[in-house]
């Protein structure tokens, strides 16, 4: 099997050519259900397993997002679960932060231990909030409770009709409908329930997330989604597509910027395009399947999965 081992000159990584797409496919299948591309998990894999520690690993992660995300976004758009006002708030907030993140990464964080601790603390706080939601410690808004009840009723109904063990999930007619858009708040309807968020507060958070995403090439979905779920009380079903679309747009900007920006102090952040594309091919398959499977999975399980991932990464960044 030596003929499958490939050396990627830019990164210096030597690995079996099947490893990147397979790893990316598995990660993306699960994370895309929650609106997260999985790039934030690929980063530790590249650093710890592939020994790819140069600043260009951030740009390579952006390439993964560019190739992988469109399939998941396509499924969410096709099924009417793309909250467009939320999407644009995320994009307009994160884009400026991406460029600041690049300079932060190259100028101040070529060895990003301190910054990883900061990110880990942020993720730890958000993960604890998510854990409280999963355990039922925090009070759920009525709209969220109603969605959970409808999902359960729908599942039982289909089980009886088909005499199957697998629930049918969200019905095709359950699509996102925008009710109100202003500089103060956005209101939308999903499956007969209304949800809203403060436009300014989400914009500020996404700007900060854009800086983090630009520095590490993680897209920011791993922070945006838990924030929208735990603080804004929005259902995962309605934010996953918007978070992925925002990650895609910012990754396009980040990928181009990392590719053409001049080296600083002899440090180049040029992405390893072949390696990033290889990861992206696996992610393309995983995200399509994950986005398609999301409507069959109860929201509490998706939130539990996100909680485990967020807390696991936070502990790794802060304590390990």
pLDDT category at 217 given cuts 50, 70, 90 is low
Report the pLDDT averaged over residues 252-258.
Answer: 83
Q: Fill in the DSSP letter of residue 169.
A: -
Pick from 11-25, 144-158, 248-262: least confident: 144-158
Q: How far apart are CA 229 and CA 123, in angstroms?
A: 13
Q: How far apart are CA 92 and CA 231, in angstroms?
A: 20
State residue 109's pLDDT score.
65
Distances (CA, A) of 120 to 35, 142, 312: 20, 31, 10
Q: How far apart are CA 114 and CA 191, in angstroms?
A: 44
Among candidate residues 204, 195, 205, the one with its CA nearest the CA of residue 140: 195
Burial profile 234-269: b = 16 or more Cβ within 10 angstroms, e = fewer: bbbbbbbbbbbbbbbbbbbbbbebbeebeeeeeebb
pTM: 0.81
- Higher-confidence residue: 227 or 104? 227
pLDDT at 37 over 80: yes
Name the helix (H) or strand (E) containing 256: helix 236-260
State residue 164's pLDDT score.
44
Asked if 75 contacts 296 with a C-beta cutoff of 8 angstroms, the reply is no
pLDDT category at 177 given cuts 50, 70, 90 is very high
Compute the chain's Rg from CA coordinates. 19
State residue 166's pLDDT score.
41
129: which 2 tokens?
Answer: 């909030």
Pick from 24-33, 73-82, 248-257: least confident: 248-257
State residue 159's pLDDT score.
56
State residue 203's pLDDT score.
92
pLDDT category at 26 given cuts 50, 70, 90 is very high
pLDDT category at 139 given cuts 50, 70, 90 is low
Beta bridge partners, 8, equal 13
Report the pLDDT averaged over residues 260-270.
Answer: 69
pLDDT category at 115 given cuts 50, 70, 90 is low
């Amino acid at each position: 099997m030596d003929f499958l081992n490939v050396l990627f000159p830019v990164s210096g990584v030597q690995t079996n050519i099947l490893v990147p797409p397979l790893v990316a496919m598995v990660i993306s299948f699960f994370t895309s259900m929650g609106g997260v591309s999985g790039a934030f998990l690929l980063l530790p894999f590249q650093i710890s397993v592939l020994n790819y520690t140069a600043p260009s690993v951030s740009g390579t992660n952006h390439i993964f997002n560019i190739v992988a995300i469109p399939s998941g976004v396509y499924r969410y758009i096709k099924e009417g679960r793309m909250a467009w006002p939320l999407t644009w708030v995320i994009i307009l907030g994160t884009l400026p932060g991406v460029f600041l993140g690049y300079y932060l990464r190259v100028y101040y964080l070529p060895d990003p231990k301190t910054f990883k601790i900061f990110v880990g603390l942020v993720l730890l706080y958000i993960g604890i909030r998510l854990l409280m939601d999963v355990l039922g410690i925090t009070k759920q808004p009525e709209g969220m409770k109603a969605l959970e009840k409808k999902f359960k009723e729908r599942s039982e109904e289909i089980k009886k009709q088909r005499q199957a063990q697998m629930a049918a999930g969200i019905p095709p007619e359950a699509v996102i409908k925008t009710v109100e858009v202003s500089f103060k708040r956005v209101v939308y309807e999903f499956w007969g329930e209304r949800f809203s968020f403060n436009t300014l507060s989400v914009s500020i958070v996404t700007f900060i997330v854009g800086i983090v995403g630009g520095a590490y090439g993680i897209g920011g979905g791993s922070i945006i989604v838990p924030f929208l779920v735990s603080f804004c009380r929005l259902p995962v079903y309605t934010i996953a597509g918007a978070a992925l679309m925002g990650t895609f747009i910012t990754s396009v900007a980040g990928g181009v910027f990392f590719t053409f920006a001049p080296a600083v102090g002899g440090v180049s952040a040029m992405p390893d395009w072949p390696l990033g594309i290889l990861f992206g091919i696996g992610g393309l398959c995983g995200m399509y399947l994950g986005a398609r499977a999301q409507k069959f999975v109860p929201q509490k399980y998706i939130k539990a999965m996100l909680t485990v991932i967020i807390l696991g990464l936070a502990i790794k960044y802060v304590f390990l």
